[in-house]
Chain A
Amino acid sequence: MSQDLQARPKQPSRPKSSPRLNRAIKARTDPDDARFDQQPGEPRGRDILKNRYVSALMRSRWYPGAFQIPIAAVFGLVAYELLAGPPDAHDNAGTALMWVLWWPLLPLLYVLFGRLWCAVCPFAALSDFVQKLVGVNRPVPPFLKKYGIWIIDATFLAITWADHVFGIVESPWGSGILLLLLTSAVIVSGAFFQRRTFCRYLCFLGGLSANYSRTGMLALRADQEVCATCTSKAACYNGTDTVAACPLFSFPRTMDSSANCNLCANCIKACPNDAITITVRKPTKELWFLRTPKIEESFLAMAIMGIVIIQNVTMLPGWTDALAWMNRTTGITSYPVIFTAVFAVGVSIPVALLTLAAKVASLGNLESTFKNFARFGYSLIPLDVAAHLAHNMFHLLAEGGSVISTVGTLFGGHYSGSPALVGNGTIQVLQYTLLALGLIGSLYTLRAITHRRYLTPARRRSTILPFSVLIGILTALNVVMFMYPMAHRM
């Protein structure tokens, strides 16, 4: 029935005799394990579905379609502009709408509304349309379920690399080709596989949104007590005659994370018992109650941190000098070669630092480096979101005027004002405020995860210390980079 339900955690095979065995035995007899299993889940906040307007909106048959249609129309305009509009990014409304308005606002949307964007995403609408038209509805291949997030990790890194080497953001044509490639992948996935396989297992943006929506302020959950008496054969998961199944393969009854919920409201419409709730919570709260960490999600968090660092570094005024220096020192003139090396180092830095912190912590908390990496990588997600937002804040506020001018030109208007919406000083204050919030969020999440996992103060201390240092280093790195003026995208 439910793919999530069918996936039972496998018992690890027992090693014969080694220090690891001793450690495993030690961990298994550890009272913290039993205590951790008994910990209550995330407490529920106020159910906003009790508000009649929100309830009416979510239960309406026009939701989310009413939002999808105008967004798809704008998407069509963006695609047309990118492929057939002015060749210079500076004059192209598609580039402005996509990279100066939509992309910077996206992380903010995740923090405010969780993965809501995925419900109104035009690619999702396209996938549904193709599925309705010719969909074969094959089940998701097992390798996608197993390695989907790794594929997302690799795709995210590859697209960022390609952006710098081939020019995607600065080139409308490059952005247009990216959109066409994504559209092709969505069509293939929608034609052959069931539900929104692409969104759940392949979309690089979906991976990003899954990670970021854990910090989101909206959480959709089911009332366990009501679900225990349900006889509808998981209508919330499988759908009904009139309501589609959950597009992201999530079963509300067992759901303890917003990572794979796009608030499409299918389950709300399908549930015959009104057991679904949407609660408002504090940002990052879901991370405090982390139960089943996954190393690939921690890796993605670190990869995103690396990507933000790379993006910042390449926009600093010293980047050209650094390139020239590398050119003189190594004799390599090829930009792709130099950038690939810098990219590999830049992305590896946060991963290596987290591995190091996990190794140090493992000496004190008696859990493996692997487990430490997987569990405490999540504590960096708030800082991740903050750094990403701070970076994007620059593009939105320093270049936001270009959206008005290019779109205005498209419709015959004229805007001759400055592209900057606010001054550099204001942007920097906002960036540092965001970084401070991210730092506080990460430290608090670290503390919450540690306190829930470990009982003894010594284990808590030995865990908190190395990861706090890591959070501090990454914050300092971002603070230093935001001190310098960045290059504009347009």
Chain B
Amino acid sequence: MSRTIEQEIETKNIRLTGTAATWRRRFVVASVGATVAATAVLGSLMLTSHQEASAATPLSAAVVPMAVGSDSSPTPTNPGSMPADMPGMDMSGSTPTPDPTASMPGDMPGMDMSGSSTGAAANRPLAPVLGTFGGGTAAVLLTAGMMRRKDRAANLIKKAARISGRAKK
């Protein structure tokens, strides 16, 4: 009986002083937190760069219509032979914009008739949003991990004290 108690106390004391198991947990918590943060930041950067590249594509296509060896879809090289008003052939990037009527306030949702689509991409600050989210998540996970470690240590100390008290009796 006493042997078992001693073993238990020994085991718990070993855990309390910081063994491989504790360090493994710390490592897991820290690495998960770091991974989440890194994924968020890198992901947001990749997505932003991807968006910028997508936004830049029409411009580069206009400047270099037929890049050598490119797989892009064929671009008309002789627009002069095509009627300018042919639907879908206007490649200037601008679209006809209806004027808002006087009765419609400009800031009402659904009333934005400017037709601009580049603004939408600019209004999506992915990097800061995902960075904040990832950073916040990492902070929460790390805090919770540390709190759990403290709680467990406190519980083990209590249990050890209780068991040693019983053993003395």
Interface of A with B (CB < 8 Å)? 83-84, 87-88, 130, 133-137, 164-165, 167, 170, 173, 177, 180, 183-184, 187-188, 191-192, 320, 323-324, 327-328, 333-335
Residues of A contacting B: mostly: helix
Shortest Cβ distance from B67 into chain A, in angstroms? 24
Q: Are A84 and B148 in contact (CB under 8 A)?
A: no
Stretch at the interface among B8-16, B72-80, B134-142: B134-142
Knowing that A167-B109, A192-B147, A335-B109 touch, tell me 15 more A-B residue pairs with CB under 8 angstroms.
A83-B124, A84-B47, A87-B124, A134-B32, A134-B145, A170-B110, A173-B123, A177-B129, A183-B133, A184-B137, A192-B144, A323-B105, A324-B103, A328-B103, A333-B107
Closest to B108 in A: A335
Chain A residues with Cβ below 8 Å from B124 are 83, 87, 173
- Tell me, in angstroms, the Cα distance from A415 to B66 when the chains sit together: 30
- Tell me, in angstroms, the Cα distance from A369 to B23 when the chains sit together: 61
A134-B141, A136-B144, A184-B133 are known contacts. Are A87 and B120 too (CB-CB below 8 A)?
A: yes
B37 at the interface (CB under 8 A from A): no
A164-B109, A333-B105, A335-B107 are known contacts. Are A88 and B120 too (CB-CB below 8 A)?
A: yes
- Tell me, in angstroms, the Cα distance from A180 to B128 when the chains sit together: 13
Q: Are B148 and A135 in contact (CB under 8 A)?
A: yes
Shortest Cβ distance from B48 into chain A, in angstroms? 9
Chain B residues with Cβ below 8 Å from A136 are 144, 147-148, 151
Q: Are A187 and B141 in contact (CB under 8 A)?
A: yes
B42 at the interface (CB under 8 A from A): no
Chain B residues with Cβ below 8 Å from A135 are 144, 148
Q: Are B141 and A133 in contact (CB under 8 A)?
A: yes
Closest to A163 in B: B109
Pick from A84, A88, A187, A320: contact of B137, CB below 8 A.
A187
- Tell me, in angstroms, the Cα distance from A184 to B104 when the chains sit together: 37
B57 at the interface (CB under 8 A from A): no
- Tell me, in angstroms, the Cα distance from A9 to B73 when the chains sit together: 72
Ordered by A's residue number, 25 sampled pairs between the chains whose C-beta atoms are within 8 Å are A84-B47, A87-B121, A130-B144, A133-B32, A133-B141, A133-B145, A134-B29, A135-B144, A136-B147, A136-B151, A137-B148, A173-B120, A184-B136, A187-B140, A191-B140, A191-B144, A320-B104, A323-B105, A323-B108, A324-B103, A327-B103, A333-B105, A333-B107, A334-B107, A335-B105
B160 at the interface (CB under 8 A from A): no
Pick from B29, B108, B109, B126: contact of A133, CB below 8 A.
B29
Which of B47, B144, B148 has the most chain A CB atoms inside 10 A of its CB? B144
Pick from A87, A180, A191: contact of B129, CB below 8 A.
A180
List B residues 105-125 near A (Cβ within 8 Å).
105, 107-110, 117, 120-121, 123-124
